[in-house]
Amino acid sequence: MFSSVDLPDAGVQARVRRALAASVRGRSFGRLSEIASWVAACQGADVPAPFTRARAIVVAGNHGVASRGVSAFMPEATAVQVEELRAGSGPAHTAARAAGCTLRLVDDFADAPGGSIDIEDAMDEAVFAQALALGTEIADQEVDAGTDLIIPGDVGVGNTTVAAAMFGTLTRTEPAVAIGRGSGISDEVWKVKVAAVRDAMFRARGFADDVPRVLRAVSAPDFVALVALIAQSAVRRTPVLVDGAYVAVAALVAEKLAPGTRHWLIAGQLSPEPCHAACVQALDLTPVLALDMSTGEGTGALLALPVINAAAELAGGELGGREG
């Protein structure tokens, strides 16, 4: 499905880590030194440099399960948020401008809702193949255009329901443990969400080890596109900055389909969703920030980008490759 993933340069990472540890000032940087050494490894350079052509890619989805009342928002809110992004406004554009990052909206799956995963498959084989190809194509386009860091984002009512269903199925985690409050739902709505995820997981119980089939059954076309985007970015040796629960679960799936992907990932922030924390731990990542944000759209990751760039700038200055 994906080509093999070459890992970032471990030798560079070790050298940068040792050089910073040998410096009094370098030791004072704390976790920024580890971030800088990861940046250097991804760049294959002994002196890390800030990312100058980062790109946020927000993939919009439309989920049939949203009609079950699993969110604090009505299903129609997805269209409103997508239109906001198209107009260049909203949290993601604000954060992108602050981070000096450009943003691309992928709205191919924003109009027609996918199947309601509690009672039917999210998509058929043809739509699954289309979504997989789209995510792969976007990654190739971006890398070929010179993008040096990809920041996947998501937008869509019901996204955390899909994320919990995917996470619960693949890890055999009980629905009540995998599900959080998402958009800020009440206890009554939480019970509805638990029931929807439980039913989706029940449908997929007989093929939980078949990742593509699980994706077709209980994810969404936009989720598949995100999985492909992340996996293909790793194949193309381009680092990925991960935001919230939806993207984190997609990253976990990408690691399953393209082993080694996780080495190209850095977690931007941690949301309150239980499946988000579990995915970050499974991928052996430490979030740059702990903001408890559930905004989506890649917003939390975009807020972490200046910290990552500052880590590279500080380490570069200390290592003598850049002006401090």
Determine the longest span between alpha carbons in the chain, in angstroms: 60
What is the Cα gyration radius of the chain?
19
**How crowded is residue 310: how many other Cβ atoms within 10 Å of its Cβ?**
15
How far apart are the C-alpha atoms of 281 and 101, rounded to whole Å?
Answer: 27
Place of tokens 């920041």: 151
How far apart are the C-alpha atoms of 61 and 152, rounded to whole Å?
Answer: 13
Structure tokens at 30: 């704390």
How far apart are the C-alpha atoms of 104 and 53, rounded to whole Å?
Answer: 13
DSSP string, 226-278: HHHHHHHHHHTT--EEE-SHHHHHHHHHHHHHSTTGGGGEEE----S-HHHHH
* Known active-site residue 297: yes
Amino acid at the residue 156: G
Write out the E strands in the chain.
54-60, 102-106, 149-155, 240-242, 265-267
Which residue out of 255, 297, 313, 318 is catalytically annotated? Answer: 297
31 φ, ψ (degrees, to nearest 5): -65, -20
Q: Tell me which residues are annotated as active site.
A: 297
